[in-house]
Chains A and B, each alone.
Chain A
Amino acid sequence: MQRLECLRAVYPQLEKCVVVTIMGAVAVELQSIGHRPNFFYLQHAMGLATSMGLGLALSLPQQKIVVLDGDGSLLMNLGTLSTMARSGVANLVHVVFDNQSYLSAGNSPTATAKGADLEGVARASGVPRTAAARSVEEFRTAFASALESGKLTTIVAHVDTAGPSHWLTDLGLLENRFQFARHCQSLLKP
């Protein structure tokens, strides 16, 4: 299963969500489908996309927040799973694209290549709903039911160790940041 196919499968549903991605392939591939003002690409600070998502979820309780994470990033901040679970936040869907690799940092294997089970870690950390997907159809279904469930959900999508040929796009980091903030703040207005 390709990450890009997964992103295409749920792209229409992302329009009404507030979306935070990690760096690397997820950011480049989502932009390749089409950037929107409600997408923020956290280019660095590995592990903190979920923490940003949690800050957004607490601050925008009427919105659905989607975090598009990866195995390497999540492994740097496993405590985020128990923090999200403990916070009681319900309007957050956490997708982990697990390609078993630090792909954009030189394609070295992560611990999931040796058996670490991130869905199991999420469940054991108290995340109320978890799922794993090995096909695009499974992913589409898991994502739709997570959005509808009204419960914090972690979905681990097992994807191929493949990505784009480049890591930079023409979207400036601060351009993305200020556009995204303006979008988020417009959602608070009556």
Chain B
Amino acid sequence: MRVSEANSRLLYQTLKDCGVRVVSSVPESWLVPVIRMIGEDPEMKLVQVAKEEEGVGISAGAHMAGVKSAMIVPNHGFLAAVNPIVSLAHLYKIPLMMFIAYRGAFGDTYPWHTPGGTVTEPLLQALRVPYTFLDSAGTLERRVQDAQKLADASLLPVALLLKHELMMEA
């Protein structure tokens, strides 16, 4: 199975059209094409972090300066960023946009991803982080725009779960 180049490009273009200019990321096989596209765009700044929690700080700094940003991470990276989501984004009301590769869910063949897959949604719910799914090209743009509106209105983190059927070719 290969990562969908077309849907990766749609995700990149949607981020750009939403005004996102700073993106932090950690490499993840589903995310390689979209991260490459962001990195090749001179109008966007890609920050390749060592650990996902740095991305919460980077987005907080960008938000203070009025610049729209996003984190693009796998769900195990989201798990690694739980403390700053609470102790920075929630405490200081930062509208954090998290794009999370939903590994270990339906369609994933790698056993080591499955524990993270089963706790991702319960953890988002426990953190009171609103989330939706990006699972098809037809609804992607509208859902990203709506997530950004909610983040900006609530000044809180929101999550978009990138599902297998969006990211991988059949």
B61 to chain A, nearest CB (A): 2
Q: Which of B49-69 contact A (CB under 8 A)?
A: 49-51, 53-67, 69
Are A180 and B50 within 8 A (Cβ)? no
Contacts of A48 in B (CB 8 A): 53-54, 56-57, 60, 84, 88
- B16 contacts the other chain (CB 8 A): no
Are B65 and A59 within 8 A (Cβ)? yes
Contacts of A45 in B (CB 8 A): 56-57, 83-84, 87-88, 91
Q: How far is it, in angstroms, between the C-alpha of A174 and the C-alpha of B94 when the chains are bound?
A: 11
Question: Hey, which bits of chain B sit against chain A, CB under 8 A?
Answer: 21-22, 45, 47-51, 53-67, 69, 83-84, 87-88, 91-93
Are A42 and B62 within 8 A (Cβ)? no
Q: How far is it, in angstroms, between the C-alpha of A58 and the C-alpha of B87 when the chains are bound?
A: 23
Are A52 and B53 within 8 A (Cβ)? no
Are A83 and B48 within 8 A (Cβ)? yes
Q: Contacts A20-B61, A83-B49 known; list 17 others, CB within 8 Å.
A: A45-B56, A48-B57, A48-B88, A55-B47, A55-B61, A55-B62, A58-B45, A58-B62, A59-B22, A77-B54, A80-B50, A82-B50, A83-B54, A86-B48, A87-B47, A87-B48, A181-B63
Are B57 and A55 within 8 A (Cβ)? yes
Are A184 and B91 within 8 A (Cβ)? no
Contacts of B48 in A (CB 8 A): 83, 86-87
Q: How far is it, in angstroms, between the C-alpha of A184 and the C-alpha of B66 when the chains are bound?
A: 8
Q: Return 20 A-B CB contacts under 8 Å, by A number.
A: A44-B87, A47-B53, A48-B54, A48-B84, A51-B49, A51-B55, A51-B57, A52-B58, A52-B60, A53-B61, A55-B22, A55-B57, A55-B59, A58-B67, A59-B66, A59-B67, A80-B54, A174-B92, A181-B63, A185-B65
Interface centre among A50, A52, A56 (most CB of B within 10 A): A52
- A113 contacts the other chain (CB 8 A): no
Question: Which secondary structure dominates where chain A touches chain B?
Answer: helix
Encoded as 1 (CB less than 8 Å from any B CB) or 0, chain A from 28 to 43 comes to: 0000000000001011
Q: Across chains A and B, which 6 residue pairs bring their CB atoms closest together, nearest first?
A: A55-B61, A51-B57, A79-B50, A48-B57, A59-B65, A45-B88
Interface centre among B61, B66, B87 (most CB of A within 10 A): B61
Contacts of B21 in A (CB 8 A): 59
Are A188 and B65 within 8 A (Cβ)? yes
Are A181 and B87 within 8 A (Cβ)? no
Q: How far is it, in angstroms, between the C-alpha of A47 and the C-alpha of B53 when the chains are bound?
A: 9
Contacts of B91 in A (CB 8 A): 43-45, 173
Contacts of B83 in A (CB 8 A): 45
Are A188 and B51 within 8 A (Cβ)? no
Q: How far is it, in angstroms, between the C-alpha of A188 and the C-alpha of B21 when the chains are bound?
A: 15
- A103 contacts the other chain (CB 8 A): no
- A8 contacts the other chain (CB 8 A): no
